[in-house]
Amino acid sequence: MKDKNHFLPLLIDMNDKKVVIFGSGSVGERKVNLFSAYAPVTVVSRNFNDTFFELERKNGITLIKADASKLTDADINDIIKEAFLVIPATNDRTINERIVSLSKSVGILTNEVDAIGDVTIPAVIKRGGLTISISTTGSSPAFSRFTRQQVEKIIIPEFADMIKIQDEMRTYLKSEVTDQIERKEILWNILENEEVWAALKESYEKGFKIAQDIVRKKISEKVR
């Protein structure tokens, strides 16, 4: 078994990275739903339900109707050509292992359903510019989901607005305050300000105005 301690969480821009998924069962469907929102996805299966045709229309996924057990090595290699990630999710472990072997032989990463592959898929929480990933490295997917549910209770919608404020103020401060430590202190003042958080519950504009006043006051004090 692969040493789980070697897994490193990374955020990767998947915009132009091809993902190939074999199988259209519940696992394959879940993977397609996730990846098709971020990357070009190709799905290989004998049959497809309405969800896949909807994702074909909505996200532009590519559907290849084929029985993976009857594909030759050359056929599979042609399908996975130039892929960044391959996910074998058929109901036949032997077929899945064959696809993994062919993918690895040409240096393509795999996410395996029945084993720990090169890539594990975490439970994900997104709030605007904030992305949190949670994983047990395949040990307990149920616990990953449970943890996500607990974390979601404290990651309130205002977090997304605060990130927008921090981004705008950080950009502004770079042109007004040369000292990095001073910029960091001002941004922390905004983060820890209860009035900003309370205002964000009403609207982004109100929170932004209070944050803007904090920045102007700090810069004014520095000029004196």
In degrees and rounded to multiples of 5, residue 202 shows phi and psi of -90, -50
List Cβ neighbours of 17 (8 Å cut-off, separation of 6 or more). 39, 40, 84, 85
- Look up the CATH number of the domain holding residue 70: 3.40.50.720
Residue 6 lies in a domain: no
Domain count, the chain: 3
Residue-range definition of the domain harbouring residue 110: 12-119
- pLDDT score of 117: 86
Band (pLDDT 50/70/90 cuts) for residue 224 is low
- Tell whether 98 and 22 lie within a shared domain: yes
| Residues 113, 37 within the same domain | yes
Half-sphere exposure of 157 (CA within 13 A, CB side): 7
Residue 195 and residue 145 in one domain: no
Residue 47 lies in a domain: yes
Q: In this structure, are 79 and 21 located in the same domain?
A: yes
Q: List, in sequence order, the alpha helices (H) in 112-157.
A: 141-152
Read off the pLDDT of residues 132-166 as tens digits, 9 standing for 90 and up.
Answer: 999 988 788 889 989 999 999 999 999 999 999 99
pLDDT, tens digit (0-9, with 9 covering 90-100), for 67-116: 999 999 999 999 999 999 999 999 999 999 999 999 999 999 999 987 88
pTM: 0.82
Q: What is the pLDDT of residue 4?
A: 53
* CA distances (Å), origin 168, targets 20, 160, 171: 38, 13, 5
In angstroms, the first-to-last Cα distance of the chain is 64
Burial bucket for residue 122 (CB in 10 Å: 0-12, 13-18, 19+): middle
76 and 27 assigned to the same domain: yes
β-strand 109-110 against 83-88: which pairing, if any?
parallel
